[in-house]
């Protein structure tokens, strides 16, 4: 296959064109300003990615409820109070012609205890990570009215994203966050219309897509990030993912991004809890190629891609786009280098500690450190000590969580 397909435009079902097949996938930056809005740090970071040549830029997760953040210094979009900041963010993302989608999310039960807020999920099932379980708030089950209110929150955030100048939203239904929790029989033990069968477990996601579609323009893109599997025994699996994609076929969905895992089984970092073996790069490509047979919308695969030849392989068949995350945290200009004919590759971020949960935290800390450096206009330092990165990240997180609790108290 010629390398050119990676740089061919992609026409989405609603007619919108993405300039090339490379997406900057979502990462959690924890770089919001004091109002939990995107400030200059995020604008500078995303301007760099725009200059780097990705055809689609998906933001780190934007929270639909100020009382439910995936981590401190997260961005919140509930109302139009800080909309001018979001406009500047959208302008930075679109400054070189890329499509710019806002990822909208709610942590559900994956809520850190340091945030000082109550956790809610489909059922009262706590996060179970050996040695770290106390770091999370035990959740209570959402009632029906709260579920309806959450659908409205996602819808409101999407409407505001459109007003701010973003060209679409991506609904996060992966990585063990709220919608992923509804989809998994391990975390959704309800016996009402929101639980039980897979159709019922997918109901909140499908209802949210319908609600957003009714209130945004046809050219505003609605995408979904879906787990190909949870990689936990008895959880959401590849067969379930295929059935959910079939359900999404009936909706006006422009693109489905396939990833996998959760806090308990971080397959998005190449680690699983059920003993599954993942490829070293393009972790979820095999799943995506199976699901592509039934998907009527374009598919995107994210997870571990850091070399041009692997990115080319991803889009050589039935998968339409390749998402880069960690690779762009280390080398933000990777797409433009590949476009120029260079075969630049990024070394993987690997921490080989015996304690997998701590190793996973260290990897996340190393990546966030790179994002912080880029947001200050500095060069990345991927070779830094994972232990130092973890300690620094934990101390910073503690300070940010304290500021967040003060912000909530004063709101």
CATH of the domain at 123: 3.20.20.70
76 with 36: CB under 8 angstroms?
yes
Number of domains into which the chain is organized: 1
22 with 311: CB under 8 angstroms?
yes
Instruction: Report the relative pairing of strands 255-259 and 321-324 from DSSP bridges.
Output: unpaired
pTM metric for this prediction: 0.94
Q: Is 373 inside any structural domain?
A: no
Q: Is 379 inside any structural domain?
A: no
CA–CA separation, 264 vs 342, rounded Å?
37
- 2 band by pLDDT with thresholds 50, 70 and 90: very low
Q: Within a 10 A sphere around the Cβ of 139, how many other Cβ atoms?
A: 23
Kindly report each contact of residues 321-324 with a partner whose C-beta sits within 8 Å and lies 24 or more positions away, as own/partner. 321/10, 321/18, 321/21, 321/22, 321/23, 321/56, 321/255, 321/257, 322/6, 322/21, 322/22, 322/23, 322/282, 323/23, 323/24, 323/25, 323/58, 323/257, 324/22, 324/23, 324/24, 324/25, 324/54
CA–CA separation, 42 vs 23, rounded Å?
17
CA–CA separation, 364 vs 358, rounded Å?
10
259 with 212: CB under 8 angstroms?
no
Q: Is 180 inside any structural domain?
A: yes
Q: State the pLDDT at residue 277.
A: 39
Backbone angles phi, psi at 221, to 5 degrees: -80, 140
Q: Is 368 inside any structural domain?
A: no
Which residue range forms the structural domain that includes residue 243? 3-347
Q: Is 88 inside any structural domain?
A: yes
Which residues are within 8 A (CB) of 409 and not within 5 positions of it... i.e. 6 or more apart? none
Report pLDDT digits (tens) over 243-255: 999 999 999 999 9
CA–CA separation, 322 vs 299, rounded Å?
9
Q: Is 367 inside any structural domain?
A: no
Q: State the pLDDT at residue 315.
A: 95
Mean pLDDT value across residues 313-339: 95
CA–CA separation, 223 vs 19, rounded Å?
17
CA–CA separation, 180 vs 268, rounded Å?
14
- 264 band by pLDDT with thresholds 50, 70 and 90: low
272 strand-pairing partners: none
Q: Is 132 inside any structural domain?
A: yes
CA–CA separation, 295 vs 265, rounded Å?
26
CA–CA separation, 189 vs 249, rounded Å?
26
Report pLDDT digits (tens) over 365-405: 999 999 999 999 999 999 999 999 999 999 999 999 999 99
Backbone angles phi, psi at 120, to 5 degrees: -135, 145
Q: Is 142 inside any structural domain?
A: yes
Please name the helix (run of DSSP H) or strand (run of DSSP E) that holds residue 57, with its range, or none. strand 56-58
Please name the helix (run of DSSP H) or strand (run of DSSP E) that holds residue 199, with its range, or none. helix 198-201
CA–CA separation, 352 vs 393, rounded Å?
18
- 281 band by pLDDT with thresholds 50, 70 and 90: low
Tokens read off for 75:
């961005």
């Amino acid at each position: 296959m010629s390398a050119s397909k990676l740089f061919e435009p992609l026409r989405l079902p609603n007619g919108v064109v993405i300039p090339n097949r490379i997406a900057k996938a979502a990462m959690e930056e924890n770089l919001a300003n004091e109002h939990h809005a995107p400030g200059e740090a995020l604008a500078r970071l995303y301007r760099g990615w725009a200059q780097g040549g990705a055809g689609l830029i998906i933001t780190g997760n934007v929270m639909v409820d100020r009382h439910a953040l995936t981590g401190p210094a997260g961005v919140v979009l509930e109302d139009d109070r800080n909309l001018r900041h979001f406009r500047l963010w959208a302008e930075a993302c679109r400054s070189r012609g890329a499509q710019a989608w806002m990822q909208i999310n709610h942590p559900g039960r994956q809520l850190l205890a340091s945030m000082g807020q109550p956790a809610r999920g489909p059922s009262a099932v706590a996060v179970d990570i050996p040695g770290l379980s106390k770091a999370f708030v035990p959740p209570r089950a959402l009632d029906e009215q709260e579920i309806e209110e959450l659908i409205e929150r996602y819808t409101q955030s999407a409407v505001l994203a459109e007003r701010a100048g973003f060209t679409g939203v991506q609904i996060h239904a992966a990585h063990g966050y709220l919608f992923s929790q509804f989809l998994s029989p391990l975390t959704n033990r309800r016996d009402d219309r929101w639980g039980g069968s897979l159709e019922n477990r997918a109901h909140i996601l499908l209802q949210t897509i319908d609600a957003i579609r009714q209130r945004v323009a046809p050219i505003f893109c609605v995408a979904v990030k879906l787990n190909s599997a949870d990689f936990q025994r008895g959880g959401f699996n590849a067969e379930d993912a295929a059935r959910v994609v079939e359900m999404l076929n009936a909706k006006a969905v422009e693109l489905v991004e396939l990833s996998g895992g959760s806090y308990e089984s971080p397959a998005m970092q190449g680690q699983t809890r059920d003993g599954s073996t993942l490829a070293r790069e393009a972790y979820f490509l095999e799943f995506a190629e199976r699901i592509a047979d039934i998907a009527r919308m374009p598919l995107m695969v994210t997870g571990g891609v850091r070399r041009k030849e692997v990115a080319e392989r991803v889009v050589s068949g039935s998968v339409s786009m390749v998402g880069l995350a960690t690779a762009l945290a280390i080398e933000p200009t990777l797409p433009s280098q590949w476009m120029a004919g260079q075969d630049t590759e990024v070394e993987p971020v690997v921490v080989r500690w015996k304690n997998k949960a701590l190793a996973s935290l260290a990897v996340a800390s190393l990546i966030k450190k790179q994002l912080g450096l880029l947001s200050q206009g500095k060069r990345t330092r991927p070779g830094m000590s994972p232990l130092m990165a973890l300690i620094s990240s934990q101390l910073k997180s503690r300070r940010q969580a304290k500021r967040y609790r003060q912000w909530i108290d004063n709101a």
